[in-house]
Chains A and B, each alone.
Chain A
């Protein structure tokens, strides 16, 4: 399992691409498809997220990106 997990909000994303640029393991990309406002939203490639959270800060939208981290549970 990857250390992190990133969820992009497809409808909120304006496709600016700053998260793609910011992601250290380069696991984000702009989708080939369009969201309903006509932007190519950012999406997670599906593996390799470290949960660093940098994309969260690079994203200008308040709820554009949510980052999760792997934690041990009893």
Chain B
């Protein structure tokens, strides 16, 4: 006695009802004859076959398959255009037991997402990428993709793709094969029955390797787009087999499944406790009691690159931090390492810093004339400004600001190193205005200056700066912010 038993049916990895199309709860949104439906089925069968539905997370792209999450009864995340491998990296690293599948089209993966796919592959992220290549932007109406064949017309290549204008079709598997890390790269096609069965095997293998804990796998699937290609589904299938297949030859580009070692679930990173030692921090790990004194310093330091503007700010912030204040240090500079304008904003105070930006400073340290001219008008009445020069330049007077001119570069040259001019200015500041104890400043210098010779020079510069500051204070001013 015989009877019929189901051998091929809708995969369990699909939802029973698709909510995408309200009145068509079993139909996908894809056009008749679209390759996405077939790839979805092959992927769903592989997920069923490996029994991993409950721990699979599908990352869907931007493109026609953006709605893959309406179909797969798995975890689903929809990524920004081209970013599926980056999102998949985050998911896999935070949930190492999950089986992460990035599903992408050729516009998504090979154009806007080129950086993400290359670096995810290069890091050997343990993920499976299903790359559906139809050689065109389908969802947006048929623009040329990086994978469009030469000579092929599209809305953005109306005269046909031209190599000198548009470049050559990008071969993703071959490109990734130049990298060391990927475990498995294969190009398959949906051009005929045999090719579809090979595609099924490849997708299953790519998933299986991830289940085994191996690294990066990518299966490129040549897939028809009958609507945009303006072919019937059957013609489109033949086009995939004959023309796409001639350009992008199907076949296994790399399979290191046998020899690849399992990738550690988490990449080795130093323990947090080891970080201070690794970056050479010898102190500062102990808790610092909060400072008692009320202080709200908003310091702007400005000059040109190479004058130690940023360093001066860093020393101040570091010293303030050690003294138990809330601090911030915000550098702002051009791309030049030397001679561009450079300034930084430092806040030191008893209350948490609301904004690191100093637009109304109560301390201005101007290491050159343009900086003084630029920032002096912004100094708060009652504030302090120190200028690097013998006298305050004409037109920079302010009655309501305590303004001092100290030729710190000349003084630094006098002690043998123009580079320490910034620290001369710091010494003067300590004398002219209540900032932090010198002991804290010395501590900050010790931590920040690794070269012993410069450290000694800085201490000398600090002392010279204090002398200058004392002279000025004795002459005219009653300082203190």
Q: Which A residues are closer than 8 A to B by beta carbons? A: 1, 4-5, 9, 11-12, 14-18, 21-22, 24, 37, 39, 51, 53-54, 56-63, 65-74
Contact = CB atoms under 8 A, between A and B. Distances in A.
Contact of A63 (B5, B10, B200, B237): B10
A49 to B, nearest CB: 10
B40 A62 contact: yes
Contact of B5 (A9, A14, A60, A69): A69
Contact of A72 (B2, B9, B10, B30): B2
A63 B9 contact: yes
B233 A17 contact: yes
B197 interface: yes
A71 B2 contact: yes
Given A21-B234, A69-B4, 11 more contacts: A11-B26, A12-B26, A18-B237, A22-B192, A37-B24, A60-B32, A60-B34, A61-B37, A62-B14, A66-B8, A71-B4
Interface in B1-38: 1-11, 14, 24, 26-28, 30-38
B360 to A, nearest CB: 64
Given A12-B27, A18-B237, A60 B35 contact: yes
B-side binding surface: helix, strand, loop or mixed? Answer: mixed
12 contacts: A9-B26, A14-B31, A22-B196, A51-B7, A54-B196, A57-B197, A60-B41, A62-B40, A66-B6, A67-B7, A69-B7, A70-B3
A1 B4 CA distance: 10
B9 to A, nearest CB: 5
Nearest to B39: A60
Contacts of A65: 8
Nearest to A5: B4
Contacts of B200: 57
A60 B28 contact: yes
B5 A71 contact: yes
A-side binding surface: helix, strand, loop or mixed? Answer: loop
A62 B3 contact: no
B325 interface: no
B46 to A, nearest CB: 12
B355 interface: no
B26 A39 contact: no
Contacts of A11: 24, 26
Nearest to B234: A21
Contacts of A1: 2
A63 B28 CA distance: 10
A55 to B, nearest CB: 9
A51 B9 CA distance: 12
B302 to A, nearest CB: 65
B42 interface: yes
B1 A72 contact: yes
Contacts of A56: 8-9, 41
B2 A57 contact: no
A40 to B, nearest CB: 10
B445 interface: no
B194 to A, nearest CB: 9
A62 B24 CA distance: 13
A56 to B, nearest CB: 4
Given A12-B27, A56-B8, A62 B41 contact: yes
A57 B234 contact: no
